[in-house]
Amino acid sequence: MKRPLRKSKKFEREFQRFQKNFGIVVRQLREKRCLSRPELARLAKFSQTTLEHIEQGKGNPSLGRMEKLAAALRYRLSYIFKLTQDMDKQRDGA
């Protein structure tokens, strides 16, 4: 019997890659907006530690937190997701 997707090794790898890429995109967009980490954390209304974990790919932000982060960066969350997905395509050579 197959294991559910959420517990598979493939899912874990893909999820970790998404977290890492999402963090990279957030950091790049923050730098593009010339915001420091404390400034963005204040605008998004969460701690600097939380933002640091997200940028390092260690955090697992809820959809609500991702939306707050996108709003603070003045981007649509869908755009941030697209950039995150594009990083995978670039890495895979597609």
Q: What is the pLDDT of residues 5-57, one digit of tens each?
A: 556 888 889 889 999 999 999 999 999 999 999 999 999 999 999 999 999 99
Q: What is the pLDDT of residues 45-88, one digit of tens each?
A: 999 999 999 999 998 899 999 999 999 999 999 999 999 999 87
The CA distance from 39 to 2, in Å, is 46
CATH number for domain 22-88, candidates 1.10.1050.10, 2.70.98.20, 1.10.3720.10, 1.10.260.40: 1.10.260.40
- Look-up of token digits 């204040």: 42
State the virtual CA torsion across 38, 43, 44, 46 in degrees, nearest 10: 50
Burial (CB < 10 A; 0-12, 13-18, 19+), residue 26, is buried
